[in-house]
Amino acid sequence: MKLKLERRAAPSALVSGATPVLAVIATMIAGGVMFWALGANPAEAIRIIFWDPLFGDFASYTRGQLLIKAGPLILIAIGLSLGFKAGIWNIGAEGQYIIGAVVGAGVGLAFYPTESRLIFPLMVLAGAFGGWAWAMIPALLKTRLGTNEILVSLMLVYVAQNILASMSTGLLRNPDGMGFPGSRNIARDFPAAANPELIAGTGIHWGVVAALIAVIFAYVLMTRHRMGFQIRLAGEAPKAARFGGVRPRRLILFTLGMGGALAGLAGLFEVAGPAGQISIDFNSGYGFTAIIVAFLGRLHPLGILLAGLLMALTYIGGELAQTMIGMPAAAIQLFQGMLLFFLLAMDVFANYRIRLGRTEVKA
């Protein structure tokens, strides 16, 4: 006997819609087992991660942090979702996030210590351009040479990390930093280039505003615009897309470019605000985590908004768990990874059924 997967003729819309919720529940159960194996109380660990950031003793602080963490995740995930919908796989958003931060911060610091309201908008444009330009490398290589955008975009992440390290210790290093790596602290020392909270204590800064605008833009694009129709058609029926006048090269350039620009914006808003400076360890994995957010949100703008808030909750709750019960950082990262694993598993069971078959014996 052997097991085989058989595609369902008509997958249940109810089951497909419920898979993110089921994936979260399964993650809590499996994560609880992992926390127990590590010597922690599972119920306490789950409570700290999902409840305490919103209603615990430190909620007045952590609620504001929720939007700070969610902003870049949502912004990057929206850009990735456009490509994923079309079957174009940008896995290098982390590199585009880094380059957007480096270029944006570099443009801002070039004007230090000038005080002008034009500096921050110029940094925003530079950050978006930096991320876009970095995404154009796999886009052009794919359209011109037929390379695989997954491998190229992923490998460019490591190139971007080396550029980040080089800039932190070289061109952008703070001349008043006594030789330590890292740029000037933009948020503290350069008000004209900073991205502060717009409403004190809420965590809302221009990056959060940009994330909300991106959600609205993506929703309108996917539901009301011709390009959104072409994106959906290319992903759902590639052969029909060819006959429907969809130009694959244009679609690749558009989706990878948008993904790169939004990732670059996320990097700029982060370096000018919460992070404050270019440093060797500036990159925090947002570009990779945003992949989970995009799929957890079912590649839908509103779903991504909710998924980004949920993933931000695990970030903040995970930090609390490390502090309060000594949970290892690797365990929290594994817990977040479980979410994607179970989401993919639930998707398989929603679209396929398991059949028992007989093993054929060759004479």
In the chain, DSSP finds a helix count (H) and a strand count (E) of 15, 2
Residue-wise pLDDT tens for the chain (363 aa)? 577 777 777 777 777 778 888 888 999 999 999 999 999 899 999 999 999 998 888 888 888 889 999 999 999 999 999 999 999 999 999 999 999 999 999 999 999 988 999 999 999 999 999 999 999 999 999 999 999 999 999 999 999 999 999 999 999 999 888 888 999 999 888 999 999 999 888 889 999 999 999 999 999 999 999 999 999 988 888 777 777 778 889 999 999 999 999 999 999 999 999 998 999 988 878 999 999 999 989 899 999 999 999 999 999 999 999 988 888 988 988 998 898 889 888 888 887 877 776 655 555
Q: Give the pLDDT confidence score for residue 129 in this predicted structure.
A: 98
Using an 8 Å Cβ cutoff, are 72 and 266 in contact?
yes
Instruction: Kindly give, in sequence order, each residue whose CB lies less than 8 Å from that of residue 223, ignoring residues fewer than 6 positions away.
Output: none
Q: Give the phi and the psi of residue 177 in degrees, each rounded to 5.
A: -95, 15
Q: How many other C-beta atoms lie within 10 A of the C-beta of residue 136?
A: 16
Instruction: Kindly give, in sequence order, each residue whose CB lies less than 8 Å from that of residue 294, ignoring residues fewer than 6 positions away.
Output: 77, 78, 80, 81, 84, 304, 307
* Alpha-carbon gap, residue 94 to 276, rounded angstroms: 18
* Alpha-carbon gap, residue 263 to 288, rounded angstroms: 11
Give the dihedral of Cα atoms 55, 57, 63, 64; nearest 10 deg: 170
* Alpha-carbon gap, residue 144 to 17, rounded angstroms: 38
Q: Before 196, cis peptide (omega within 30)? A: no
* Alpha-carbon gap, residue 232 to 40, rounded angstroms: 45
